[in-house]
A = this chain, B = another copy of it.
């Protein structure tokens, strides 16, 4: 009876190293390295032989060793406090997409609103020598619960409040609002109301101001915006306020909403009152939260903040910072786009 050999863990053989490639090709590691990186001088034949050997052996350079030497790890950290992910996820996907092609990987760091967690993540990333950090959040007027101001590495802020002097990317909320209101105007609507979220949000004011501006530019009467919550329930209440009065002559013929949930509430409340959308009243939302916008009856026209493009831009901006290109500090605003569905009358011809 023989003792069984140690049962091999599933394919546990270690990765092949440059040294093994060199040995197999009968050259030194230095030559092997140069052959694979297109550096140094050697006969084309030697270079090709080494390359072929590496290919055959399935050699892949150890990124850790490379990073140690180059002082560049080809990783970045992505900080977020948006657990729910409605805004973060497209953003994160955009960052990751922009970077994966350049061989840069992204550490996911969910810091909630927890100082300790933030600290923990930042230290872990620093220890792992990330080349830079993208900080994202769920609103652009709040800081993440971490201090990124004195790091050795570049930081880009996307959809969250940047430190002074840092690079920040946000969506152009005012521009997005203009898109919506001007769309209404092109369709011939004139009495355009605005229903939005809590006054504590900076975006609420930015969007309301743009709405006001466009109305005034077109010499239209402008009332106070209705500010409440980011909820369907508030959409219902707002309809009561707007359409509760007897006599339909004062009723709006369009409602521009601060987000899609409010718009959903508005549309449902209008239907319950027998007011037709879009025939009697047009509705436009904000966020273009697809699953909500497509479930309203009729489907909701909405402003899209292009968050994955924002993420991509943030990733690229960080990369150029890492490469040492100076970037203009300050906040850069990226344009929104209007996604036309059926809640404000057919698209203009």
- The residues of A with any CB-CB pair to B shorter than 8 Å are 9, 11-15, 60-65, 67-68, 71, 73-75, 78, 83-86, 88-90, 92-93, 96-97, 100-101, 103, 105-110, 117, 120-121, 123-129, 150-152, 231-233, 261, 264, 268, 290-291, 295, 324
Contact between B129 and A62, CB atoms less than 8 A apart: yes
- Distance to closest chain B CB from A77 (angstroms): 8
| Contacting pair A96 B109 (CB below 8 A) | yes
Query: Residue A13 contacts which of B12, B101, B152, B232 (CB distance < 8 angstroms)?
Result: B152
A123 and B68 contact, CB distance less than 8 A: no
Chain B residues within an 8 Å CB radius of A78: 108
How many copies of this chain does one complex carry?
Answer: 2
Q: Tell me whether B96 and A110 are in contact (CB under 8 A).
A: yes
| Structural contact, B128 and A64, CB atoms closer than 8 A | yes
Which residue of chain B is the closest to A127 with respect to CB atoms? B63
What are 29 A-B contacts defined by CB distance under 8 Å? A11-B150, A12-B152, A13-B152, A60-B123, A61-B127, A63-B128, A63-B129, A64-B73, A68-B68, A74-B128, A83-B90, A83-B93, A88-B89, A93-B110, A96-B108, A96-B110, A97-B110, A100-B109, A100-B117, A100-B124, A103-B124, A105-B107, A105-B109, A106-B108, A107-B107, A233-B295, A261-B295, A264-B295, A268-B268
